[in-house]
């Protein structure tokens, strides 16, 4: 092999290696930037779910007055309106046993336990987020005393026995008790707690069965998918341009090397 040809081969190896390194750097850079955009979109969706959770807390508190229970029909209507926005696919409010008290949107009963265990679960078209929180239970009724979990009253039935006052105290006793409680509370207003006709055990069971202790929220991943797909399309174009540029530079160097080698042969032959 002639020395000149060996020099060009060595230079060609160096040039091709540098071009390959540049291409790998560009590809790695675009992949890293795409991962950053993905994480940013995921964070934005998580933050939006926190906003929705805050909205749910406001909805619950707006329908309460000094710890009063909620009517399930009103709460279902508010949740249905929230789901209609499109951002939220479904929402389920849970009791202490992680059982659904009231829900709206797509059914998610089968995913509730897993969502609560892992905190969040990413699926193809939705993000499930589980929160163990006492919605609306932060209002202080008395000094040093906090509300019990919000109780959701089930829909009314036409059962005649439901309105029976058999187990309730007489109206005279209720009036005396109410007057005495108003005198003790002064101007602080009524306090909603255990009804006088309900035992403490029944009241605690009611808190466990109908008290809000948590929620599972299913957020649509459509904004996340749109952001990541759009970003990946741009990154793919940059990678394609970089690949075309590297290929063109490599081909140009090959032609330059071949031309120089031909000129050297012609000089030696002349």
For residue 228, pLDDT beyond 90: yes
Q: What is the pLDDT of residues 142-180, one digit of tens each?
A: 444 445 567 887 876 655 444 444 444 444 444 444 444
Bigger pLDDT: 76 vs 149: 76
Angstrom distance (rounded) from CA 61 to CA 66: 9
Contacts of 139 (CB under 8 A, 6+ apart): 61, 64, 66, 67, 146, 147
Burial of 239 (0-12, 13-18, 19+ CB in 10 A): middle
**Please, what is the average pLDDT of the chain?**
77
pLDDT of 185 strictly over 80: no
How far from chain centre, in Å, is Cα 158?
A: 39
- Position 158 scores a pLDDT of 54
Neighbour count for residue 79 (Cβ, 10 Å): 21
Q: Is the pLDDT of residue 189 over 50?
A: no
Q: What is the pLDDT of residue 169?
A: 44
Q: What is the DSSP code (8-state) at residue 49?
A: H
Tokens of 48: 């939006």
Share of the chain above pLDDT 70, in %: 71
Structure tokens at 219: 């957020």
Residue from 229, 225, 43, 230 nearest 124 by CA: 225
Residues contacting residue 254 through CB under 8 Å, at least 6 positions apart: 12
Nearest to 192 by CA among 207, 205, 171: 207
**What are the CA-CA distances from residue 197 to residues 37, 168, 173, 182 (Å)?**
58, 5, 11, 18
The answer, as to whether pTM is greater than 0.85, is: no
Q: Which of 95, 89, 84 is nearest to 121 (CA)?
A: 89
């Amino acid at each position: 092999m002639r020395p000149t040809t060996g020099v060009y081969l060595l230079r060609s190896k160096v040039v091709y290696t540098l071009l390959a390194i540049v291409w790998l750097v560009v590809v790695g850079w675009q992949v890293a930037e795409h991962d950053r955009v993905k994480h940013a979109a995921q964070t934005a969706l998580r933050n939006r779910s926190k906003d929705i959770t805050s909205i749910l807390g406001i909805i619950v508190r707006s329908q309460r007055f000094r710890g009063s229970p909620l009517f399930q029909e009103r709460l279902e209507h508010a949740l249905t309106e929230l789901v209609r926005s499109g951002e939220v696919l479904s929402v389920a409010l849970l009791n202490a046993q992680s059982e659904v008290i009231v829900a709206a949107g797509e059914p998610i009963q089968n995913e509730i336990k897993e969502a609560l265990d892992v905190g969040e679960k990413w699926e193809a078209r939705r993000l499930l987020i589980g929160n163990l929180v006492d919605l609306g239970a932060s209002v202080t009724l008395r000094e040093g005393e906090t509300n019990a979990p919000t109780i959701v009253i089930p829909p009314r039935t036409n059962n005649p026995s439901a309105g029976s006052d058999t187990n309730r105290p007489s109206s005279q006793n209720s009036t005396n008790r109410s007057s005495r409680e108003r005198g003790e509370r002064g101007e602080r207003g009524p306090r909603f707690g255990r009804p006088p006709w309900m035992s403490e055990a029944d009241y605690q069971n009611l808190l466990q069965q109908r008290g809000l202790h948590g929620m599972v929220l299913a957020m649509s991943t459509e904004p996340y998918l749109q952001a990541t797909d759009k970003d990946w399309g741009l990154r793919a174009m940059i990678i394609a341009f970089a690949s075309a540029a590297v290929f063109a530079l490599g081909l140009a160097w090959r032609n330059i090397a071949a031309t120089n080698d031909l000129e050297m042969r012609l000089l030696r032959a002349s």
